[in-house]
């Protein structure tokens, strides 16, 4: 990259290489040490010269982005439900779609003076658990993950944000034996092994993405095991793929859950399904 370029020319060059315009702007702002969402500043200073050090940082980030690395990894952070979470290749990048799951959980948790318990299974960066805790400090929030690396990221986010979450290492509900919760939520792996979309996710941990030939193995396991960890009248909420809602609802009904329903994300896609465990069985 020409080190004598101005900011506008640098952006034009990398877009000609195939980089998305918005990605190019965010990466240039990061290279300049500015907030990557401050595009108004960038437009107002597009004739400013690109400093040599920033040009080197920009070139390296552009190379990695063109190779498919998520912008969130390049920035080291991702916004989720009003929180700024640190992320890296040890965890999935939190998606806006998952905010639908968080909002549903918040809608179900009993208000004070009740002290409901909430469990986030497979917490990754801690996104779901920390979002719930940030909105409901009175709720006892627990989170689990089978990955020690993921838990390190989640705990770091919790400490930095000053949010008290009880983290446990282990596979799904095996991490919290004997405990019961009012709401259990999970964004488990739900992509089918061999799905062509996996090629675009090659920089993210594969174990957090795929689950059997139809993508439903982990969801089946969670639906089967959740009743033992739910309080009477407790809810299980699951995020899933855009074409899996009907199958997940059927699994919930088959297991004995009531009030089974799905919620749509902002794009109108059925993104989460859940049901209530009856008070008497």
Confidence of residue 68 (pLDDT cuts 50, 70, 90): confident
Strands 77-80 and 83-86: antiparallel
Q: Which of the pair, 225 or 190, is modelled with greater confidence? A: 225
Structural domains in the chain (count): 2
Q: Tell me how far apart the alpha carbons of residues 206 and 273 are, in angstroms, rounded to a whole number.
A: 23
C-beta separation of 175 from 225 below 8 A: no
15, part of any domain:
yes
Q: Which of 83-97, 117-131, 152-166 has the lowest mean pLDDT?
A: 83-97
Q: Given a cut of 90, is residue 49 above it in pLDDT?
A: yes
Q: Given a cut of 60, is residue 208 above it in pLDDT?
A: no
pLDDT at residue 10, as a whole number: 93
281, part of any domain:
no
CA angle at 216 for the pair 215 and 222, rounded to the nearest 5° = 140
Question: Quick one: tokens of 1?
Answer: 């990259």
Same domain membership, residue 245 and residue 124: yes
Same domain membership, residue 120 and residue 183: yes
Average pLDDT over residues 40-44: 91
- CA neighbor of 48 nearest in space, from 113, 4, 101: 4
Confidence of residue 113 (pLDDT cuts 50, 70, 90): confident
- CA neighbor of 123 nearest in space, from 66, 80, 73: 80
pLDDT in tens, 8-30: 999 999 999 999 999 999 999 99
Same domain membership, residue 216 and residue 128: yes
* Residue 43 host element (H or E): helix 39-44
Same domain membership, residue 91 and residue 27: no
1, part of any domain:
no
Same domain membership, residue 260 and residue 176: yes
List Cβ neighbours of 38 (8 Å cut-off, separation of 6 or more). Answer: 29
CATH number at residue 185: 3.40.50.150
Same domain membership, residue 53 and residue 93: no
Same domain membership, residue 265 and residue 158: yes
Confidence of residue 206 (pLDDT cuts 50, 70, 90): low
Same domain membership, residue 241 and residue 135: yes
Q: Given a cut of 80, is residue 164 above it in pLDDT?
A: yes
pLDDT at residue 242, as a whole number: 85
Same domain membership, residue 252 and residue 151: yes
Same domain membership, residue 187 and residue 92: yes
216, part of any domain:
yes
Average pLDDT over residues 56-65: 92
Pick the last residue of a domain from 67, 93, 117. Answer: 67
244, part of any domain:
yes
Same domain membership, residue 85 and residue 62: no
Average pLDDT over residues 239-259: 94
Confidence of residue 279 (pLDDT cuts 50, 70, 90): confident
Q: Given a cut of 80, is residue 273 above it in pLDDT?
A: yes
Confidence of residue 37 (pLDDT cuts 50, 70, 90): confident
Pick the last residue of a domain from 26, 43, 67. Answer: 67
Average pLDDT over residues 219-248: 94
Average pLDDT of the chain, as a whole number:
90
Share of residues in the chain with pLDDT > 90 (%): 78
Q: Beta partners for 144?
A: 121, 168
Q: Given a cut of 70, is residue 210 above it in pLDDT?
A: no
76, part of any domain:
no
Q: Given a cut of 80, is residue 234 above it in pLDDT?
A: yes
Q: Given a cut of 60, is residue 247 above it in pLDDT?
A: yes
Domain span holding position 113? 81-276
Q: Given a cut of 80, is residue 173 above it in pLDDT?
A: yes
128, part of any domain:
yes
Same domain membership, residue 140 and residue 15: no
Residue with tokens 């074409």: 243
Q: Given a cut of 80, is residue 52 above it in pLDDT?
A: yes
Please tell me what DSSP assigns to residue 214: S
- CA neighbor of 203 nearest in space, from 23, 19, 69, 67: 69
168, part of any domain:
yes
- CA neighbor of 112 nearest in space, from 139, 140, 132, 141: 139
């Amino acid at each position: 990259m020409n080190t004598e370029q101005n900011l506008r020319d640098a952006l034009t060059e990398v877009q000609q290489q195939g980089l998305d315009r918005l990605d190019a702007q965010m990466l240039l702002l990061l290279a300049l040490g500015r907030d990557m969402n401050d595009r108004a500043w960038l437009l107002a200073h597009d004739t400013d010269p690109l400093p040599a050090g920033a040009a080197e940082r920009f070139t390296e980030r552009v190379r990695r982005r063109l190779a498919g690395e998520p912008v969130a990894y390049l920035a080291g952070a991702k916004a989720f439900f009003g929180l700024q979470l640190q992320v890296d290749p040890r965890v999935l990048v939190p998606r806006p779609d998952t905010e639908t799951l968080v909002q549903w959980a918040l809608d179900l948790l009993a208000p004070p003076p009740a002290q409901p318990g909430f469990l986030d299974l497979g917490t990754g960066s801690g996104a779901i658990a920390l979002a719930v805790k940030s909105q409901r400090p009175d709720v006892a929030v627990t989170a689990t993950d089978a990955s020690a690396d993921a838990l390190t990221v989640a705990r770091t986010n919790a400490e930095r944000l000053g949010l008290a979450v009880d983290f446990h290492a282990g596979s799904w509900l095996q991490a919290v034996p004997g405990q019961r919760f009012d709401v259990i939520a999970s964004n488990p792996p739900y992509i089918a092994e061999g799905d062509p979309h996996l090629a675009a996710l090659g920089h993210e941990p594969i174990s957090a993405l795929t689950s059997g030939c139809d993508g439903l193995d982990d969801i089946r396991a969670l639906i089967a095991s959740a009743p033992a960890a739910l309080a009477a009248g407790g809810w299980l909420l699951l995020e899933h793929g855009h074409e899996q809602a009907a199958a997940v609802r059927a699994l919930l009904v088959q297991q004995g859950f009531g009030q089974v329903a799905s919620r749509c994300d902002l794009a109108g896609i059925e993104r989460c399904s859940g049901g209530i465990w009856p008070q008497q069985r």
